[in-house]
Amino acid sequence: MTETETKTIEELKKKIHELELEIAKLKGANEALMALYHSRPTTTIIERNPPKPRTYPPPFPLWPKKYPSYESKFCR
């Protein structure tokens, strides 16, 4: 192996070590952010009286109370 190859290998090893340190720093920062995210207070608002679901279709027929029923008109 030549001297330049040895120098290049050493430089690459040094660079790899620097990058590994950078990765470790970023992992630590990411873990800290995730811990903060999971320790935050919940933001969901719980309604005390949730709205009742609407029922469809409405009961049929809906005759007004003041009119006689549909059947009684034909039964006369």
Higher pLDDT, 54 or 15: 15
The model's pTM: 0.46
pLDDT in tens, 5-46: 999 999 999 999 999 999 999 999 999 999 988 888 777 777
pLDDT band at 58 (very low <50, low <70, confident <90, very high): low
Residues 3-31: b if buried by 16+ CB within 10 A, e if exposed? eeeeeeeeeeeeeeeeeeeeeeeeeeeee
pLDDT of residue 13: 96
The domain locations on the chain are 1-43
pLDDT of residue 25: 95
The whole-angstrom separation of Cα 24 and Cα 32 is 12
The H-assigned helical ranges of 1-67 are 3-38
The whole-angstrom separation of Cα 18 and Cα 43 is 40
